[in-house]
Amino acid sequence: MILRRSELDSHEEVRMGRLEGKVAFITGGARGQGRAIAAKFASEGADIAICDICAQLPTVPYPLANTDDLAETVRLIERSGRRCLADIADVRDQAALDRVVAKAIDELGQIDIVCVNAGIVNFAAFWEMPEDVWDEMIDVNLTGVWKTVKAVAPHMMERTRGSIILTSSSNGREPAPELAHYTAAKHGVIGLMKSFAYELGPYGIRVNTILPGPILTPMTNNEPTRSWIFGRPKASLEDYLQATRNWHVLRGRAALPASAIADAMIWLASDESLHVTGVELPVDAGHLILPGMNMSPVAGEIGTVDYDANALEPGKFAG
């Protein structure tokens, strides 16, 4: 929106941000997607509350964000002229989330937008996966989503407004090798989104989810994740980018920048999507519309099949 300062004898124009006067709470906000979302929202007028665990988890094979990362996000937000509250919190810890939400409401006045962004990834065949690897993935990527929304929902319900944006994945729609736990969690996030949207709709609260494809952040730009994407050990960044070029329909795309997620989220956060709830929004350069095919088929003894027969003889067709 453009407002003219009629009281000034000039042609100066003042641009009001799309999130002017609003407050956004972002989990996993210390770096990567979380930082990009925070910076984008602040650039459009929002004050920001962020939290991150700032500690290493035992099942995660790459370094997680630290307090320096958190401080850098605060510096970027404050440099843009907006307020930023930052705290250390584990999304598995309901008391910690409740504390951050209460502090944000006290210091920033309200919470209008929630971006549930915190997440982890690791890789293992499901039949070899230790139980602690499964449990930690589900606790962070699924239960942490429920706990985050649980922490802020009563405040939004009282105000009868708000936008909640969950982060799922293209793996919320499709499987991938060595990602049964991640895929289960991200499918679950879509289920939570639909349930939250249904239950919170009567309170005027919108709930949607973003489904990212490969995004170039510290979560993906590390040797274990690059190697999983590329399909060979010790993959470089160039290997990773080469592999992700095969991921998209749109021309000229490799792994997308974190700003692609922030750009999509700000639409869902703003009043431009005032009548949109219960939506899954892929941000994947068209990946999910690609026709499926088996890139590594395994041949077996299938014998001779009589496709004109009314029924196959027992044992005649076995894959």
Within a domain: 194: yes
Within a domain: 278: yes
Tell me the average pLDDT across 242-252. Answer: 92
Report the distance separating Cα 50 and Cα 100, nearest Å: 9
Within a domain: 243: no
Report the distance separating Cα 50 and Cα 111, nearest Å: 12
The CATH code of the domain that includes 261 is 3.40.50.720
Candidates 230, 248, 231; CA nearest to 240 is 230
> What integer pLDDT is reported at residue 306 of this predicted model?
53
Within a domain: 267: yes
- For strand 280-283 and strand 205-212, is the pairing parallel, antiparallel, or unpaired? parallel
Q: How far apart are the first and last CA of the chain?
A: 62
Structure tokens of 107? 């210091």
Report the distance separating Cα 189 and Cα 182, nearest Å: 11
CA 307 to chain centre: 46
Residue 62 annotated to the active site? no
pTM score: 0.89
Tell me the average pLDDT across 246-267. Answer: 95
Tell me the average pLDDT across 190-208. Answer: 98
Kindly report which listed range (16-25, 52-61, 244-253, 304-313) carries the lowest average pLDDT score.
304-313
Within a domain: 210: yes
Q: Structural domain of residue 54, as residue ranges?
A: 14-220+255-285
Distances 234 to 122, 222, 223, 229 between C-alpha atoms, Å: 16, 10, 6, 11
> What integer pLDDT is reported at residue 16 of this predicted model?
84
**Is the pLDDT confidence value at 9 over 70?**
no
Q: Pick the catalytic residue: 62, 182, 203, 240? A: 182
What is the SS3 assignment for 208? strand
Give residue-wise pLDDT tens across range 274-313: 999 999 999 999 999 998 766 666 766 555 545 454 444 5
Residue type, 223: E
Give residue-wise pLDDT tens across range 79-105: 999 999 999 999 999 999 999 999 999
Region of 290 (left: φ > 0; alpha: ψ -120 to 50; beta: rest) is: beta
Please list the residues that pair with 281 across neighbouring strands.
210
> What integer pLDDT is reported at residue 319 of this predicted model?
45
Residue 286 DSSP one-character state:
T
Q: Count of domains in the chain?
A: 1
**Is the pLDDT confidence value at 263 over 60?**
yes
Within a domain: 33: yes
Cβ of 62: how many Cβ atoms within 10 Å? Answer: 17
Within a domain: 246: no
> What integer pLDDT is reported at residue 196 of this predicted model?
99
Within a domain: 228: no
% of the chain with per-residue pLDDT over 70: 87
Report the distance separating Cα 48 and Cα 42, nearest Å: 7
